[in-house]
Amino acid sequence: MCRGKKWLGIWLITLLLVVACKKESHDTGKLRIAVIPKGTTHEYWKAVHAGAEKAAKELDVEVIWKGPLKEDDLKSQIDLVQTFTAQGVGGIVLAPLNDKALVASVKGAQNAKIPVVIFDSALSGGSPVSFVATDNRAAGGLAGERMAKLLGDKGKVVVLRYQEGSASTHEREEGFLEAVKKHPGLEVVSDNQYGGATTETAFSASESLLLARNAESGGVDGVFCPNESTTFGMLLALQKAKLTGKIHFIGFDASDKLVAGVKSGSIDGLVLQDPFKMGYTAVKTLVEHKKGQKVAERIDTGATLVDKANMDKPEIVRLLKPDLEKWLGK
């Protein structure tokens, strides 16, 4: 019995030493930064990932990239923040799926002395180190002004929103509506429908919206969608109804299929963010904070409207086709 206790004691001491050594290797090795996007399937997030990896290489830190598969898995994202907090990472870079639901987890990380940089979408509380994002209201305004120009300041407009609780897309939607309201000849006939987090749900919502507004008989002159999935879902619905080219359409973000839509004239314009720059800047900002440098509370990474006329310009090509292979190996 005593001999068994002796061996148990030795085993526990060995285990504690292993854990201590493991922790020390993290403390004395590279700074480990967890980067948690809203999702991992859209091209947008792949560009964010590439930018984060570029910053990691330049600054000699380790990026741990982990996020929900789909952009409606709020529980998974909350669990990830809590898991990385328990692991004691050096910092967290987070694009919150919901502006309120992630506040408690972020505060938990901060209470554990883990700094947090928020990117892409704002958080309603938590006092992060910095917020790195597009000025989404201004970006939505770009789309609204272009729509007014396309329609000659006269026509019926619909907005297919993304999903409730998403601060970034809400700002885009409101920015678009504010711009449209400056043109009395434009009438917003629907702005209360949501596409949801996937192309499939957005396609279904788009079909229902076009049908409800009698789009085939001239009930809709212009459409705005605030992100990649809603834009692609609406494009598919317009193509199925043979309404491309008949209804002016402005979307948000880019993928190969959306770029093809601009080339063909099915999409009149896309508001592009700079997700590569966003990922790069978010990681860089956290590292600077860890080094004791002063960082800006709010960093705007810019937005550009691309159309058929400017899409071949080098500065636009960089936004449309970031070098994913160089930084992600794919």
Per-residue pLDDT at 23: 42
Per-residue pLDDT at 8: 42
Residue 60 in this model has a pLDDT that exceeds 70? yes
Q: Identity (one letter) of the amino acid at 254?
A: A
Percent with pLDDT over 90 in the chain: 89
pLDDT digits (tens, 9 = 90+) for 132-174: 999 999 999 999 999 999 999 999 999 999 999 999 999 999 9
Q: Mean per-residue pLDDT for 43-52?
A: 97
Per-residue pLDDT at 50: 98
Q: Rounded to an integer, what distance in angstroms lies between the CA atom of residue 143 and that of residue 271?
A: 7
Residue 10 in this model has a pLDDT that exceeds 50? no
Cβ-based burial of 229 (10 A; exposed 0-12, middle 13-18, buried ≥19):
buried
Question: Is 280 within 8 Å of 49 (Cβ atoms)?
Answer: no
Name the CATH superfamily, with its identifier, for domain 136-272.
Response regulator (3.40.50.2300)
Query: Which among 240, 164, 154, 153 has a CA at the least distance from the CA of 195?
Result: 164
pLDDT band at residue 330 under the 50/70/90 scheme: low
Q: Rounded to an integer, what distance in angstroms lies between the CA atom of residue 141 and that of residue 226?
A: 11
**Alpha-carbon dihedral of residues 90, 294, 139, 141, nearest 10 degrees?**
140
Q: Provide φ and ψ at 183, rounded to 5°.
A: -120, 95
Per-residue pLDDT at 27: 54
Q: Rounded to an integer, what distance in angstroms lies between the CA atom of residue 218 and that of residue 59?
A: 55
Query: Which residue ranges does the chain devote to CATH 3.40.50.2300?
Result: 11-134+275-302, 136-272
pLDDT digits (tens, 9 = 90+) for 100-141: 999 999 999 999 999 999 999 999 988 999 999 999 999 999
pLDDT digits (tens, 9 = 90+) for 270-312: 999 999 999 999 999 999 999 999 999 999 999 999 999 999 9
The CATH number, out of the four listed (3.40.50.300, 3.40.50.2300, 3.20.20.110, 2.30.30.190), of the domain defined by the range 11-134+275-302 = 3.40.50.2300
**Alpha-carbon dihedral of residues 103, 104, 107, 109, nearest 10 degrees?**
-110
Q: Mean per-residue pLDDT for 208-235?
A: 97
> Mean pLDDT, the chain, as a whole number?
92
Per-residue pLDDT at 11: 41
pLDDT band at residue 12 under the 50/70/90 scheme: very low
β-bridge partners, 296: none
Q: Provide φ and ψ at 83, rounded to 5°.
A: -65, -45
Residue 183 in this model has a pLDDT that exceeds 90? yes
pLDDT digits (tens, 9 = 90+) for 75-86: 999 999 999 999
Q: Identity (one letter) of the amino acid at 12?
A: L
Using CA atoms, how far residue 38 sits from 9, 71, 172, 246, 256, in Å, is: 45, 5, 17, 34, 20
Q: Rounded to an integer, what distance in angstroms lies between the CA atom of residue 188 and that of residue 97?
A: 27
Q: Rounded to an integer, what distance in angstroms lies between the CA atom of residue 49 and that of residue 190?
A: 35
DSSP 73: -
Sheet holding 32-36, edge to edge: 62-65, 32-36, 91-94, 116-119, 130-133, 298-300
Question: Is 243 within 8 Å of 13 (Cβ atoms)?
Answer: no
Q: Rounded to an integer, what distance in angstroms lies between the CA atom of residue 152 and that of residue 175?
A: 19
pLDDT band at residue 29 under the 50/70/90 scheme: confident
